[in-house]
């Protein structure tokens, strides 16, 4: 059967934008010596500028920041607010791949969580994360008071903020002093995300919300992230590999998510279901239940994001939703084949899963 080409989501490689800076860093190299995402080397220049997202001011610096992903962060903040009201407790949040730290800052200042641990493997982002988590407005206010005798107070404060963001620091700071309210704390670290998540499970240090905004197809994070979530907590997973989701790289989808994908006209939904199915199966292997709360597809990456509620115990009835999808490229018809029912699977296998055009379905 000849498979026609369908317009599907695919990863688009964008050209790096022209940037200026007033500092550089020698940190942030990978094992092969190449700069990490968000890192910048000697000769590259980028200016630390003040940005605002949904009322939250932060410094962009050289860290990775994508304004198009604001909607995904909106949903995360709303989920944290809703579940804090439901449970009656303030959340502890672990952000394993922080980038610029705007997500952690919004968890602190908009969702009102108790604590946020922001981790980014690029050690040169430490001061930047600290400045954003502390609060740009508070930092600027303090720096403005320190520069009271300077002619251009605002410019001096901004320069001081840039200097603060250049520092590679790791610290834990109290940001509220209201005795009637437990203080908010934040922490910055520079570990590999997989090691950090695994270490929290080994230390029995569990979090109410674990946010893993990884790059590409990172199915290996799922198990470690499930181990770091409290029972009844939330897990926010990401996939940005449009090739795997759209069936252009089926081997990658099989390795990372246990799903063999084909090109289909519903590639965006296929990518979300691939991510959901992988997390549900991994949770079942760990004796947990991962219930999808919401999913979001964004075309700018493409970015697939799914929020799960993780519970203790294995809900085997959820496995009935794990199925094959048979798709015919000629008639564009689909057939759902249940894996839970042996009768259903054996019946369709014996009949060769044919459709009205007398061709053999392509199982996805």
pLDDT at 48: 57
Residue ranges covered by each domain of the chain: 50-145+162-321
Give tens-digit pLDDT for 89-102.
Answer: 999 999 999 998 99
**Helix pair angle (102-109, 126-134), 10° resolution:** 20
Query: What is d(CA 263, CA 68) in angstroms, rounded to the nearest whole number?
Result: 26
At the fourth CATH level, the homologous superfamily of domain 50-145+162-321 is Vaccinia Virus protein VP39 (3.40.50.150)
Residue 272, H or E segment: helix 267-285
Query: What is d(CA 238, CA 12) in angstroms, rounded to the nearest whole number?
Result: 17
SS3 annotation, 284-342: HHCCEEEEEEEEEEECCCCEEEEEEEEEECCCHHHHHHCEEEEECCCCCCEEEEECCCH
CB neighbours of 165 closer than 8 A, spacing ≥ 6?
48, 59, 61, 127, 128, 130, 131
CB neighbours of 340 closer than 8 A, spacing ≥ 6?
319, 320, 322, 323
Low-confidence ranges of the chain (pLDDT < 50): 1-47, 148, 150, 153, 168-172, 174, 178-180, 350-352, 358-364
What's phi and psi for 197, nearest 5 deg?
A: -60, -40
> pTM of this prediction?
0.76
Tell me the three state secondary structure of residue 343: helix
Give tens-digit pLDDT for 269-284.
Answer: 999 999 999 999 999 9
Give tens-digit pLDDT for 1-10.
Answer: 333 333 334 3
Identify which of 235, 234, 279 has the alpha carbon closest to the alpha carbon of residue 256.
279
SS3 annotation, 14-47: CCCCCCCCCCCCCCCECCCCCECCCCCCCCCCCC
Q: How many residues does the chain have?
A: 364
Residue 157, H or E segment: helix 153-166
pLDDT at 131: 82
**Cα end-to-end distance, the chain, whole Å:** 15
pLDDT at 143: 54
Identify which of 131, 84, 137 has the alpha carbon closest to the alpha carbon of residue 112.
84
């Amino acid at each position: 059967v000849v498979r026609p080409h369908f317009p599907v989501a695919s990863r688009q490689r964008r050209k790096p934008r022209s940037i200026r800076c007033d500092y550089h860093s020698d940190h942030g190299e990978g094992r092969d010596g190449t700069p990490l995402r968000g890192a910048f080397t000697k000769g590259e220049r980028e200016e630390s500028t003040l940005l605002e997202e949904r009322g939250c001011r932060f410094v962009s610096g050289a860290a990775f920041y994508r304004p198009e992903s604001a909607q995904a962060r909106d949903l995360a903040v709303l989920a944290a607010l809703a579940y804090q009201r439901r449970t009656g407790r303030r959340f502890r949040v672990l952000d394993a791949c922080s980038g610029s730290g705007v997500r952690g800052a919004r968890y602190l200042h908009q969702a009102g969580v108790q604590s946020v641990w922001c981790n980014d493997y690029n050690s040169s982002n430490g001061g930047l994360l600290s400045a954003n988590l502390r609060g740009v407005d508070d930092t600027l206010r303090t720096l403005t008071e320190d520069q009271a005798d300077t002619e251009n107070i605002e410019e001096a404060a901004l320069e001081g903020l840039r200097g603060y963001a250049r520092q590679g620091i790791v610290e834990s700071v109290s940001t509220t002093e209201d005795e009637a309210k437990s203080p908010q704390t934040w922490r910055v670290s520079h570990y590999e995300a997989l090691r950090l998540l695994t270490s929290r499970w080994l230390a029995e240090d569990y979090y109410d919300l674990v946010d893993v905004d990884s790059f590409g197809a990172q199915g290996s994070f799922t198990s470690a992230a499930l181990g770091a979530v409290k029972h009844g907590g939330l897990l926010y997973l990401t996939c940005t590999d449009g090739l795997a989701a759209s069936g252009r790289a089926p081997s990658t989808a099989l390795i990372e998510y246990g799903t063999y994908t084909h090109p289909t006209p519903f590639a965006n939904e296929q990518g979300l279901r691939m991510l959901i199915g992988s997390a549900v199966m991994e949770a079942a292997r760990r004796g947990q239940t991962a219930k999808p709360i919401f999913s979001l597809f964004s075309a700018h990456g493409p970015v697939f994001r799914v929020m799960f509620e993780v519970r203790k115990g294995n809900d085997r009835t959820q496995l009935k939703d794990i199925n094959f999808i048979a798709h015919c490229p000629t008639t564009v018809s689909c057939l759902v084949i249940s894996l839970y029912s042996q009768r259903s699977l054996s019946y369709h296998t014996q009949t060769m899963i044919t459709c009205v055009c007398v061709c053999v379905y392509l199982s996805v």
